[in-house]
Structures are given as structure tokens and as C-alpha cells.
Amino acid sequence: MTFEDTLATWLVKQRWFAGKGRTVHDLAVLADTEIIPGDPGLRHLIVTVSHGATSDSYQLYIGSRARLPARLRHVRIGTHEGMQIYDGLHDAALTRILLDSIVADRSVGTLRFCRVPGAEIEAGLDSAIYGFAVETGMHLLRIITAGVFDRFPRLRLVVGHLGEALPFWLYRLDFMHAAQVAAGRYESMKPIQRRPSDYLRSNVWVTTSGMPWAPAIMFCREVLGPDRVMYAMDYPYQYVPEEVTMQDQLPIDAAAKRAFFQGIAEEVFGL
């Protein structure tokens, strides 16, 4: 199989391939620039794919290694000239050099790596509006998938902001964790004794700090269990006394409300 045939076989299977449903008649390499020599190496390709009357062009970053580590096997393309070739954008050892090239305004052949003036990530979204939740939710997932609760089954964690959105992802967390473990795609993704959602229901409690919205609170009570959701104020960062009234109006009876505002916290923290 030629290098072009190997690329074509891999290319048509990619989610971003634009020619789905059309027959590939030919793939031609229009430009081939070696960006990083050696092992691992990186080449920048511009290829055109012919579908008969129409054609599409693609920019590809092709990595090469004599031996492909397990963490990169899911992006393997094939072999070429005795080397394993793969989607180089998944290799941190290579993308780090690409980012450094952008910072240094480096040129390689006809390629120029440069920053676009003014193209900066807008500040703010990485903070309390959403970024803090993403970071905390990722930390909690790492704890779960690393098997910490298997080793320490009595460990308890209390997470604010209604669990940093994880309760809304229970189905997908279970589905994709099982799929990734089965695929062996990531070396660090090992089997655990239960589903991720089971640990969220048995070892984790969530508070309503900063999230006094009744529909979200009632959803978490439904999917995690009413004994897993307790009141909290995001003091001093989001001190809004009216939030107490909002949660006092939750559609639950007096006994459930007492547990929500007081009893669950007394049990969890031993007060």
C-alpha cells in the first residue's frame, strides 16, 4: 500500500472528513514539509481528495515514531518507511513544539507559525462564571476514575454548586467511561469496581452554594437521592440573602426541608 493509499484509508474514517457519502477516487499530496525531524518527527501535509467532479483539500500533521506508545495507538494511521505514522496533533511532545514555534514566530519552509494580533482568549469565562466548575468537576472525575473510592470506600466528599454539573452528565459519564476502558485507548483509564455515577451517589454530597435554582435542585435530588443534596450559601463570594427564600419555597414537605437545610449537614459533618 502506498503512502497516499494509507492516508486515504485513514482519512475517510475521521469525523471531520467532508466527503462522507462520496466515493474517493484519488488522494494526492500537494505539499510535504518536515517541521520536526527525528523520532518523534512531524510533517505538515496538504492533500487533495478527488471525488470525481469535485475535490476537497486537507491540512494534516503526521507524526512518526519507530515505536508507538499505548497512549497514541488510537490515532495510528499505518506504517511508512519503517516508521509508525499517526495523527501528530494528539502527541503532546510534538504540539508543545508547535506552540513554541507560534510564540517564536518561526518559519519552516513555506510555513509560518505566528500569533494573530488581538486573538486572545477573552478573560472571565475561565473564572466563576464556568471555568471554576469545569476544573473542580474534572478533579472529582479524576478521583473517581483513579479508583480512590475503591481503595477508600468510606471517604466522603462534599462538592459545591450542585456537583459542578456532573449530575447532569451521569449517563454519559457511565457510557463513555465503559467505552474508553474497553477500548484501552488511554493507559490511565483502568477498570473500577462500579460505575462513575454509583460513586457520585454513595461517596459524594452536593450543596446548593451559588445554585439556588429550584429546577436544578430538584433534578439533583431525583438523580442522586434527596439525602445527597444539602443547602449552602456561596459566602462570601455570592452572598444573596434572597437565595434562602428561594430555597425555602422548594416543593418538598417540612421533614424533607428540615433535612435539606440542617439534618443532612449534621449527619455528614458530625455536627
For residue 121, pLDDT beyond 60? no
For residue 142, pLDDT beyond 90? yes
Quickly state the pLDDT bin for 188 (edges 50, 70, 90): confident
Quickly state the pLDDT bin for 120 (edges 50, 70, 90): low
Cell of 116: 494573530
In the chain, the percentage of residues whose pLDDT exceeds 70 is 98
Which carries the bigger pLDDT value, residue 119 or residue 128?
Answer: 128
The fold of the 131-269 domain, in CATH, is TIM Barrel (3.20.20)
Residue 149 near residue 143 (C-beta atoms within 8 A): yes
Least confident of 18-22, 97-101, 176-180: 18-22
User: So where are the chain's domains?
Assistant: 3-112, 131-269
Q: Give the tens place of pLDDT for each residue, 218-239.
A: 999 999 999 999 999 999 889 9
Taking the C-alpha atoms of residue 263 and residue 258, their distance in angstroms, rounded to an integer, is 6
For residue 122, pLDDT beyond 70? no
Q: Give the tens place of pLDDT for each residue, 40-73.
A: 999 999 999 999 889 999 999 999 999 999 989 9
CA 37 to chain centre: 30
Tell me the CA distances in angstroms from 189 to 58, 63, 93, 145, one per residue in order: 32, 23, 20, 7
Taking the C-alpha atoms of residue 247 and residue 168, their distance in angstroms, rounded to an integer, is 20
